[in-house]
Amino acid sequence: MSQKDLIEEINSKYKDLGENPDTYLSGMRYAKPVNYWDYCEIDALLTLQKPKTEIPDESVFIMYHQVNELLFKMILSEIEQVAKTNNIELNFFVSRLGRINRYFDVLISSFAIMKYGMEVEQYMKFRDALTPASGFQSVQYRKIEIACTDLNNLIDARYKHKADEFVGLQAKIDNLYWQAAGKNHKTGEKSLMLSMFEEKYGKELLDTATEYETKNLRAVFNSLSEEDKQSPKLIKAMKALDNKINIKWTMTHYRTAEHYLESSGKPVAATGGSPWKKYMHPKYQKRIFFPELWSKEELDTWGYEHEE
């Protein structure tokens, strides 16, 4: 574009806004050039690590969680773009699923930083200073799940057969699989980890569930034409996502928990206090976002290939 055309465009942009373009052009003479550190907020970013102890590996733990939360945000932003697009085109949907899958590849492969990148002795000391906090309380992780599928697919495996009895989104949320980490279903009593989480994010999660009820990834898939729904590259991308989050990530996370919490030979309690040995394994949780895409045998044996 020539300089003349550029100035013409700038003129019309500000005229359309009812502003005087000359003032803006004049201001450009004094504006500071952009630099990397301000643009990426590096100084602010580097002040966000506030360890509770002086044990060096606690910084690895905090920063790796922060890296995860940024990737979760990137995933949510891709899902949001899909959800906001009316009459979505197959190629756009597949390309966005590809992005999400790449973020999950990073989350899965980098989890070795948690398993091998901290000394067990150090972890077992600083973790006591974090109780009752847990990654369980990551609201972005919960939002990703809610934005991927119907709440019915996230109901605690023990109650899935009566999912239709839970009327309304809140009743479903109260019976999602993750309630099993902190709620005694007989007495209704909740752990501090769970009650603190619900107090802080309960309303936000209900809003997310309402927003994504009809436009989660599974709903978007179902809104496609019959021909698009048969697309091999789409089915491959959806199944890859289900497998990455609900088996691969879940298993690498579970093995990491074992590495630390069973380091003495006997399992010890997690910071969040869940019955983690059972709770975290995919074969018990049976979270499956797109069950229609798997065979009956695959559904029945979900997570079993990783059995001890």
Q: Give the burial string for 23-41 (b: 16+ CB within 10 Å, else e).
A: eeeeeeeeeeeeeeeeeee
In the bound state with ligand HEM, the residue whose beta carbon lies nearer, of 114 and 241, is 114
The whole-angstrom separation of Cα 158 and Cα 160 is: 6
Burial class (CB in 10 A: 0-12, 13-18, 19+), 228: middle
Applying CB under 6 A, the site for ligand HEM has a residue count of 24
- Piece of 7-15, 35-43, 77-85, 134-142 that binds ligand HEM (CB under 6 A): 134-142
Among 257, 286, 288, 293, binds ligand HEM (CB under 6 A): 257
CA dist 164 and 185 (Å) reads 18
The residue within the footprint of ligand HEM, chosen from 57, 78, 104, 134 (CB under 6 A), is 134
Q: Which of 196, 150, 191, 151 is nearest to 174 (CA)?
A: 151
The stretch among 43-51, 160-168, 212-220, 270-278 that binds ligand HEM (CB under 6 A) is 270-278
Determine if 138 is a binding residue for ligand HEM (CB under 6 A).
yes
CA 241 centroid distance within chain = 12
Measured from the CB atom, the residue of 180 and 217 that comes closer to ligand HEM is 180
Is 65 near ligand HEM (CB under 6 A)?
Answer: yes
| Angle at alpha carbon of residue 202, lines to 201 and 204, rounded to 5° | 65
Could you say whether residue 75 binds ligand HEM (CB under 6 A)?
no
Site for ligand HEM in 84-103 (CB under 6 A): none
Binding to ligand HEM in span 45-64, by CB under 6 A: 64
Q: Does 303 bind ligand HEM (CB under 6 A)?
A: no
The backbone region for 188, taken as left when phi is positive above 0, alpha when psi lies in -120 to 50, beta otherwise, is left
Return the number of other C-beta atoms located less than 10 Å from residue 266's C-beta.
7
Stretch that binds ligand HEM, among 27-35, 77-85, 227-235, 265-273 (CB under 6 A): 265-273
- Minimum CB separation of residue 278 from ligand HEM in Å reads 11
Q: How many residues does the chain have?
A: 308
201 is an interface residue for ligand HEM by CB under 6 A: no
Q: Does 253 bind ligand HEM (CB under 6 A)?
A: yes
Name the nearest CA neighbour of 121 among 257, 256, 264: 264
Q: For residue 232, what are its two tokens? A: 């091999």
Determine which residue in the list 273, 291, 298, 306 makes contact with ligand HEM, applying CB under 6 A.
273
Place of tokens 């089915």: 235
Note the residues at the interface with ligand HEM (CB under 6 A): 64-65, 68, 114, 123, 134-136, 138, 141, 178, 181, 253, 256-257, 260-261, 270-274, 276, 280
